[in-house]
Structure 1
Amino acid sequence: MSDDAKSPDGSAPAQEPGQIATRRVHTGRMVALDVDTVRFPDGSTGEMEIFRHPGACAVVPFLSDVRGEDPQVLLIKQYRYATGGWLYEIPAGKLDGDEDPEVCARRELQEETGCTAARVERLTTFFPTPGFCDERIHIYLAEGLTMGAHQREADEFLTVETMTLSGALAMIEAGEIRDGKSIVGLLFAAGFRAGR
């Protein structure tokens, strides 16, 4: 039994927690919604609404040497209907099927900013909303950028902006960058630099 399956007190549950049954109630372009009957760690059962998502990648693109003095990064400012306005973000997008996350990160960087990267490095993978969604976001750092033409999708309304990493971190502190994946990516990139 894995440590994840143990009760908080370390004892083994009466039965393994997990899915008993599932029912698909919606399939959309971005997500599917399942209603799962689940067994909880204490042995009780209940229903959970779970959004199924194929996963996504996001990339922190550095225009100048990541190890240099206060390097420049690219951010996008994108209209997000769900939040009611514009958000500063790092380039990101959904995985296509069983696409390799690094391939997705490179594709999204090119589609949204027009840039290709000589090097990408994985920073972390995290669950942005584990209470009701199985989405994983893979975060990458990109450097050695070459500018080109973007290939944005029809529903992407965005501008590309250049700023220093310290400026982006100040925007996080001021509450001007509010997108979770972008906060995680920029803070990881800053930590990566600190370990240079």
Structure 2
Amino acid sequence: MILEEKTLSSEKIYNGKIINLRIDTVELPDHKYQKREIVEHPGAVAVLAITKENEIIMVKQYRKTVEETLWEVPAGKLEIGEDPKKCAMRELKEETGYSCKKIELINTFYTSPGFSDEKMYLYLAKDLVEGDPNPDEDEYVEIHKVKVEDALDMLQNGTIKDAKTIIAILMSKQLI
């Protein structure tokens, strides 16, 4: 049995700079009807940037949504029509100042498919070249180098709480 929901109607509720919100009326497999609130997001990238010394380039950034400063890998929203690989290189450079000679897609995943269509592209960046960061005017970040072993400890003790960063660090064990 294939469990699908058939969209009967869709209503745009909000169009914003980062997200849009719509409400879909769907028919469930048992022929009942339900409303689905869906956040539309253009997608995003995250970058697992690893130095030759097996350090992960990370940022600490205050996130208003959770009222906390979080440890994260560099990341950012895709612009409409933007190539994810180019976005990953741009975000790495803007947030940390680093550029890379090698970058490859290592995974894609949905961040919260229960309510959002955001797709995250996770890249591995190596052969890093240090430079000056150029963050967005509303972006305030601290840049840190964290040894892979220390990052794994930070996962264990709950210091790192950001899902994309957790995925990136767990994948780093297989990539280095």
Range of TM-score over shorter length: over 0.9
Q: Which residue of 2 aligns with 1:104?
A: 87
Which one has a bigger Cα radius of gyration? 1
5 Å-filtered alignment, 1:42-191, equals: 42-64=30-52, 71-191=54-174
Q: Which residue, out of 26, 37, 43, partners 2:14?
A: 26
Asked whether the 8 Å contact 1:17–1:43 carries over to 2, the reply is no
Compute the TM-score of the two structures, normalised by the length of structure 2: 0.95
Alpha-carbon distance in 1 for matches of 2:27, 2:114:
15
> Where has structure 1 moved over 4 Å in runs of 4 or more?
none
- Percent of paired sites with the same residue: 36
Cα deviations across residues 149-193 of structure 1 (Å, max 9, x unaligned)?
Answer: 211012211100011011011101110000000001111121223
Alpha-carbon distance in 2 for matches of 1:63, 1:31:
34
Q: Which runs of 5+ in 1 are unaligned?
A: 8-15, 66-70
Deviation at 1:118, TM superposition (A): 0.3
Alpha-carbon distance in 1 for matches of 2:134, 2:95:
6
Alpha-carbon distance in 2 for matches of 1:116, 1:18:
44
Compute the TM-score of the two structures, normalised by the length of structure 1: 0.86
Superposition RMSD in Å:
1.3
